[in-house]
Structure 1
């Protein structure tokens, strides 16, 4: 949940949706996102909608948070009314650090989602976690509650890199937590990596990739460091304490990730994501990338139902106050036009290994796709079959390719 929310039209006090949106909910799949905004400390690079105890102030706390989320879930059930979605296919609990909540609270939230809409028999249920925020006992509790997947914020195994990022866990803790999750019975384990941190050496990133493989993870997300305005890391760079990230270094790291993960049996399925098997792909994120519907619970959470997108007020106190007063916590919303929906489809689907159906492009876009094939950015066989699929070089330049395909 990024720190800056866009503008939009007001959300009705009762959270009601246009009939057209309710009529199609779940047609392209339905998931639930739960935002847990609490962190033990703030990482220097993070601008997400998260709060430490010192930042939170009065009027909100971890203790009553699960009950507040359940109040929004009850509102969601009223909004969807007699057209509930098909069974929930994915649940993703993100943050923040969701596992700062007691495992019992995370279990209660999942149980309430199941009682409200019903979980599909094969539902994917993910929680994010920091490596230091879980134990073998808490992981077993989460697995027993129905969580099937865990996403651990590893970022790096190099102590110097972790220090620059203000990460609190030790270099080996993420690997240990991943192994503990496997022992607890989690079907799928993801490890997040960040590359291109100032001071990171090639051997640092290579060691991180080696540890991902050794930990038995079946999914890896790897992202170039982005320096966001307003973060402690950005301030340090402005003062000259640290150099800014280098694009050429980031490209080298990406190529190193692709080579190492491919050799270990992983395949990319989205520009920044790799899985060992198709079943290891994050189905919740695929729901986002392929135009599905989801209800986002929690402060700052975004939702999308039937072409309507809205976002909640950011601060946990304001979020709780609105729900206590019987009001929607939605701050603003937008109804996507056909052109906006098509633009998002191009931007998101082109990042997938399955590629973009070229028939969604206009004549200029299809001509640009042909040029991208000639330039080695899109794969020729896929293009001949009517799909745009990024080559490895194209993945490095994905944003530029998207810009060329759109008017």
Structure 2
């Protein structure tokens, strides 16, 4: 059902905060492409197939909305703000083709100025790419590509309801490298029911056989409302096992480290420098902006934004999103102003997941006592005035955060 509620306006306080945010603060743009050829059973992202959209929306009306939202964002933010990172996600951005993605980046440049050396990433489904596609992206100004591989095992892809063949992601990575992309990511999902150790080992062999400088690996999560969750509820497939997930994570980390990569966030690894630390040129700067709570504006249906402690999210359906912008309104579905406690909680939650760790001065006295207890338990270590997760602590990261914030 299409949500036809009127868009929500930012409160006067929220609007003032956004409009007067320090223009020297880093700014990122996320652009959401809501279109998919098919829906994977585990996916709960805000995406739509052509059959689900029917005649209520089209790529053209979505693009018109995107251009309008970019213009409104540029008008509301303080003058002089430059964009340091752009990330096109979805959905399946590669369904737009190289020309469509070039138009999207052109719309960004029409409204904003990209900072020198800006990182510009697009996600891509391997099945909707080609050598010509990657050449077109490079010519348009994209600097980084993220490919959804998930697994090299056919039966694992079948359980996930992924439609690409196991080898296509590897061919796509080689084609992207041949087109001049130095920064390439492959996504893996581990812990899928039916996945064996040898399946994951083969997937890692495959990842490391191509010229990628970044790997993201996520444990399969059963999200409410998905086909996967319904199958689990009916007993057709089992829930992912926590012990298996932990063992698989350790396997991934060990293999990637041995291949010259380093973790820089719990689920992300980048090419390592000689001192075994992550190479800043290979980390995803856009994702780092989220984990540092920098400012970002999410463009597109259902996209989330954050500017100087104000968070808001767009209306989800593409038709409602476009109609709101056509009427001259921002397509906001809701917003909140973060309190000091909210910001503190998020700083602990997000920064502790990063390899730089959490500055000890961020914590209160009582929180430091609890963090020191985690050090004694081997879950944290102190490095240059920061608490950093140990290898064991990364397996229990959410629990470490909860224990530190127990009084919040």
State TM-score, norm by structure 1: 0.94
Q: Which moved more, 1:51-60 or 1:349-358?
A: 51-60
Match of 2:240 in 1: 245
Question: Is the alpha carbon distance of 1:46 and 1:163 closer, same or farther for their aligned partners in structure 2, counting shifts above 3 Å?
Answer: same
Report the CA distance between 1:25 and its aligned residue: 4.2
- 1:143-154 alignment, distance < 5 Å: 143-154=138-149
**How far off its partner does 1:397 sit?**
0.2
1:114 matched to 2:113? The reply is no
Mean alpha-carbon deviation: is it higher for 389-398 or for 128-137? 128-137
Give the conservation status (yes or no) of the 8 Å contact 1:365–1:405.
yes
Helix, strand or coil for the counterpart of 1:326? coil
* Distance (whole Å) between structure 1 residues aligned to residue 14 and residue 109 of structure 2: 22
Deviation at 1:26, TM superposition (A): 4.5
Q: How does 1:138-217 map to 2 (within 5 A)?
A: 138-217=133-212
Asked if 2 retains the 8 angstrom alpha-carbon contact of 1:26 and 1:292, the reply is: no
Q: Deviations over 1:221-260 (max 9, x none)?
A: 0000000111111111111111110000000000000100
Question: Residue 405 of structure 1 corresponds to which residue in structure 2?
Answer: 404
Per-residue deviation at 1:22?
Answer: 2.5
Offset at residue 187 of structure 1 (A): 2.4
In the other structure, the counterpart of 1:296 is 298
Q: How far apart are residue 27 of structure 1 and its match?
A: 3.9
Contact 1:271 1:352 (C-alpha < 8 Å) held by counterparts: yes
| 2:228 paired residue number | 233
* CA shift digits 1:322-344 (9 cap, x unpaired): 11111110111001111101110
Q: Distance in 1 between matches of 2:119 and 2:106?
A: 14
Whether the 8 Å CA contact 2:14–2:337 is kept in 1: the answer is: no
1:19 and 2:21 are equivalent in the alignment: no
| Paired position in structure 2 for 1:58 | 55
Contact residue 44 and residue 223 of structure 2 kept, 8 A: yes
Q: 1:31-70, aligned counterparts within 5 Å? A: 31-70=28-67
Q: Which residue of 2 aligns with 1:388?
A: 387
CA contact (8 A) 2:378 2:393 kept: yes
2: CA distance between counterparts of 1:153 and 1:124? 19
| Equivalent residues of 1:66, 1:105 under 8 A apart | no
- List runs of 5+ in structure 2 lacking aligned partners: 272-278
Which runs of structure 1 show a deviation greater than 6 angstroms over 4 or more consecutive aligned residues? none
Secondary structure of 1:194's match? strand
CA apart distance, 1:314: 0.2
8 Å CA contact 1:25–1:84 kept in 2: the answer is: no
1:130 aligned partner: 125
What is the alpha-carbon distance in structure 2 between the residues aligned to residue 215 and residue 197 of structure 1?
A: 23
The 1:367–1:206 alpha-carbon spacing in structure 2 relative to 1, beyond 3 Å, is: same
Matches within 5 A, 1:63-102: 63-80=60-77, 83-84=78-79, 86-102=81-97
- The alpha-carbon deviation at position 67 of structure 1 amounts to 2.3
The 8 Å contact of residues 66 and 108 in structure 1, kept in 2 or not, is answered as no
Secondary structure in structure 1 of the residue aligned to 2:189: strand
Give the one of 332, 336, 339 matched to 1:330: 332
In the other structure, the counterpart of 1:271 is 266
Q: 1:34 aligns to what SS in structure 2?
A: strand
In structure 2, what is the Cα distance between the partners aligned to 1:342 and 1:16? 21
Instruction: Report how many residues are paired.
Output: 394
Report matched runs for 1:328-407 at 5 Å: 328-380=330-382, 382=383, 385-406=384-405, 407=407
SS in 2 for 1:279: coil
Shift of residue 58 of structure 1?
A: 2.4
Q: Quick one: distance in 2 between partners of 1:158 and 1:303?
A: 36
CA distance in 1, matches of 2:73, 2:18: 13
Displacement of 1:57: 2.7
Choose 261-270 or 237-246, whichever is displaced more: 237-246
Q: Kindly state the Cα deviation for residue 85 of structure 1 after the two structures are TM-superposed.
A: 5.0
Give me the TM-score of the superposition, normalised by structure 2.
Answer: 0.94
2:275 matched residue in structure 1: none
Aligned residues of 1:66 and 1:106 also touching (Cα < 8 A): no
- Residue 55 of structure 1: CA displacement? 1.0
> For the residues of structure 2 that align with 1:85 and 1:333, how far apart are their CA atoms?
25
1:396 Cα deviation from its structure 2 partner: 0.1
Structure 1: 5+ residue stretches without partners: none
